[in-house]
Amino acid sequence: MNAERIMAFARAGVAVEVVDVTGSTNADLLARAPQLAAPVLLIAEHQTAGRGRAGRSWLSEPGHSLTFSLAWRFGDGLRALAGLPLAVGVALAETLGRLGQSVQLKWPNDVLKDGDKLAGILVETHVQPDGAAWTIIGIGVNLVMPDALEDRIGRGAASMPWLARMDRDELMAALLDGLADALALFARAGFVPFAARWNVLHAWAGRPVVLLDRGEVRHEGLAAGVDDTGRLLLDTAAGRITIVAGDVSLRTTD
């Protein structure tokens, strides 16, 4: 991938860097956060220590996925970031939809294709002395899923072979523009403008689910979407409850 070509294709005006290999693009940008002056997109052709939510690993192979992180500053700090991973999911899903790939969203931060995981999102933050926060938005997207890699992952994983044939720089520019537009809107209005859009893309709307916390069932009910702050709405036998994002896994029971 070529940083100059990506910036030429994109309209976002964000600096782009490409490295052949690194441990984690999120870790790299977090280490640089105190010195950052403007948004930057860091792309790795290969990550050797990619990270997912709750300390999980993100496994990938060179040439078969997109692995990148976008550093973006929010002046209002952590208190203004509720629902951000879900808004990023909306931006990814809608951009992929415009490129001909129909995908759905799983709360709180997965993109699914045909029921299997296609992309994951990890948002980490660095708070500055003035209270502003640099968010490091890490994303991994499967383009091709070799059988050997799927075996290592240990569960079904989706891919996008049609988009894998697209010019990678143009594809990355389209994703960057979609993300930049969404983050600018989120900075102005929070998650509210994204809630209905997320619910339209909800993979398990109306389906029975259980919520697991460290392997233990905490709640059961029907998944009813998200509210204006990004909390999951769950219709249980005792009534509707809201779930805040955390170390929780969502599994369908039907």
One-letter-per-residue 3-state SS of 22-82: ECCHHHHHHHHHHHCCCCEEEEEEEECCCECHHHCECCCCCCCEEEEEEEEEECCCHHHCC
Active site residue 117: yes
User: Catalytic one among 53, 106, 113, 168?
Assistant: 53
Spatial CB neighbours of 22, under 8 Å, sequence gap ≥ 6: 28, 44, 46, 47, 48
Q: What six digits make up the tokens of 240?
A: 């509707």
Active site residue 240: no
Active site residue 53: yes
User: Catalytic one among 51, 106, 113, 117?
Assistant: 117
Integer angstrom CA distances of residue 104 from 96, 169, 184, 213: 10, 24, 22, 23
Catalytic residues, by residue number, are 53, 117, 251
